[in-house]
């Protein structure tokens, strides 16, 4: 590490010209772990300040019984697990496609209504990548959302048009993952 990186900053960042936004669009993408977990952290923070929050999951089904759904639901987060699981486990990809389209239509309604201060669209990137939903429709909904509604969109390989209209984009990079050494997902850590 060079000397300039090892010393803590002593000067405050220049905040002149900064402004306040009524809402923000966040994207968590990349091949590393933590995209959904980070989104659920934002949902937790939003509930802590009494925002109405909704999570729409594009792949997970209501049968998963995840820890995040359990705890966030108990805190008043509305939850819609609209998918039917991993595509490699799906018996009918047409059904998976239809569920993703239904999740998008519900998300679009929630965004337009403006009743929730935060809408989390978990794993929406896959529906975009596989062209199950129209990227122009998603971008339109994002850019024309209620001014008080913030959004978090997650998933690998987020479409560049979504990235272009987002305020904050974070790419999770995988350095090492337990799955690569043969360890399956662990309840309490991964779901």
Q: Which domains, from first to last, does the chain contain?
A: 40-173 (3.40.50.300)
- Higher-pLDDT residue of 62 and 191 is 191
Task: State pLDDT tens for residues 66-92.
Answer: 889 999 999 999 999 886 655 555 566
Contact 22, 151 (CB under 8 A): no
- Higher-pLDDT residue of 96 and 47 is 47
DSSP-assigned beta bridge partners for residue 152: 26, 120
pLDDT band at 64 (very low <50, low <70, confident <90, very high): low
Q: Which helix (H) or strand (E) holds 18?
A: none
Q: What angle do CA 71, 64, 171 make, to 5 degrees?
A: 75
Rounded to the nearest angstrom, the gap between the alpha carbon of residue 3 and the centroid of all alpha carbons in its chain is 37
Positive or negative, the Cα torsion across 51, 101, 66, 33? negative
- Please name the residues in contact with 186: beta carbons below 8 A apart, sequence gap of 6 or more: 178
CA neighbor of 120 nearest in space, from 24, 184, 13: 24
CA neighbor of 55 nearest in space, from 127, 120, 152: 120
Note if the pTM is more than 0.95: no
The region of weakest confidence among 33-37, 55-59, 61-65, 109-113 is: 61-65
C-beta neighbour count of 117 within 10 angstroms? 18
- What region, left, alpha or beta, does residue 114 occupy, with left being phi > 0 and alpha being psi -120 to 50 degrees? left
Rounded to the nearest angstrom, the gap between the alpha carbon of residue 19 and the centroid of all alpha carbons in its chain is 25
Section 130-156 average pLDDT: 97
């Amino acid at each position: 590490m060079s000397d300039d990186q090892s010393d803590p900053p002593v000067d405050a960042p220049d905040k002149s010209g900064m402004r306040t936004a009524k809402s923000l669009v966040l994207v968590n993408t990349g091949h590393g772990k933590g995209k959904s977990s980070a989104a659920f952290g934002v949902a937790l923070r939003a509930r802590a300040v009494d925002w109405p929050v909704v999570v729409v999951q594009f792949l997970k089904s209501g049968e998963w019984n995840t820890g995040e759904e359990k705890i966030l639901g108990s805190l008043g987060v509305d939850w819609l697990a609209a998918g039917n699981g991993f595509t490699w486990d799906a018996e009918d990809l047409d059904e998976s496609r239809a569920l993703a389209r239904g999740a998008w239509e519900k998300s679009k309604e929630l965004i337009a209504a403006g009743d929730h201060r935060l809408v989390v669209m978990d794993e929406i990137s896959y529906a975009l990548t596989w062209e199950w939903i129209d990227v122009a429709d998603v971008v339109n909904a994002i850019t024309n959302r209620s001014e008080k509604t913030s959004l978090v969109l997650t998933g690998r390989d987020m479409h560049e048009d979504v990235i272009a209209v987002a305020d904050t984009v974070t790419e999770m990079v995988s350095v090492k993952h337990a799955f690569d050494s043969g360890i399956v997902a662990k309840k309490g850590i991964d779901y």
